Every structure is written in structure tokens, then in C-alpha cells.
Amino acid sequence: MRLLARLLGYLLLIAALAALAVDLLAWSTTGRFRLSELGALWAQIDRPSLNLVQAVLERHVWQPLWDGLFWVLLQPAVLVLGLPGLVLLLLGRRGGGRRDSHFSRR
């Protein structure tokens, strides 16, 4: 389970760094720094899949779920991807310190 958490954490951090790279590239061309919204980046990558997710959630799952996801899609991609990535890396790190030191004292 820890391996899966670390792997997913690394993937999310890589995606966050890629989103930051897109923002820095836009900054170098426009002269204005702005963090991209997750939904805007998703639409640039694959707009039909974003539309499909919206249609499925609204029509077949639960309308308020799309409303909550829509709020997340309006947030900066770097934060939406990076913060969960860091949390997963922390949760998936190797335990050690306390448990091992307790047994080594005996």
C-alpha cells in the first residue's frame, strides 16, 4: 500500500511540475505570470473527455458531484495536483523511527 501511495504521489508531483512548466512558459511569452486552472489545462489536453465526465456525472451519477468537481477544476492545477501528491508521499514514506527504536532498546 505504501508503494502505491508513493507512486501516485510522485505521479501527481510530476503532473504539478508539468503544470508549473506550462505556466512558466506562458509567463515567458506573455510577460504575465498566472497559475492555470486545472479545468483549463484539462480542456487543452482533451476537451471531449472533460465534456464526457461532465455529462456522465450530471446525468447518470449525481448532479452535486459535478458542482463540487467544477469548483476543483477552477483552482490552480499546481495546487490541486501538488498538495495531494505531497500528502501521498508523506503517507507512503517508510515508517521507522519510533517503532524500531523501541524494540532496539531492549
The upper half-sphere exposure of residue 94, i.e. CA atoms within 13 Å in the direction of its Cβ, equals 3
- Ramachandran assignment for 90, one of left (phi > 0), alpha (psi -120 to 50 degrees), beta (any other): alpha
Asked if the model's pLDDT at residue 61 lies above 80, the reply is yes
Q: Tell me how far apart the alpha carbons of residues 2 and 39 are, in angstroms, rounded to a whole number.
A: 29
Residue 101 lies in a domain: no
Predicted local confidence at residue 104, as pLDDT: 53
| Cβ contacts of 77 within 8 Å, gap of 6 or more | 15, 16, 19, 35, 36, 37, 38, 40, 41
Name the residue range of residue 43's domain: 37-75
Q: Tell me how far apart the alpha carbons of residues 51 and 47 are, in angstroms, rounded to a whole number.
A: 6
59 and 42 in a single domain? The answer is: yes
Reported as a pLDDT band with limits 50, 70 and 90, residue 99 is low
68 and 42 in a single domain? The answer is: yes
Tell me the mean pLDDT in the region 57-62: 95
50 and 66 in a single domain? The answer is: yes
The pTM assigned to this predicted structure is 0.82
Please give the C-alpha separations between residue 24 and each of 18, 51, 67, 81, 97, in angstroms, as whole numbers. Answer: 10, 27, 29, 16, 39
Residue 103 lies in a domain: no
Tell me the mean pLDDT in the region 61-72: 95
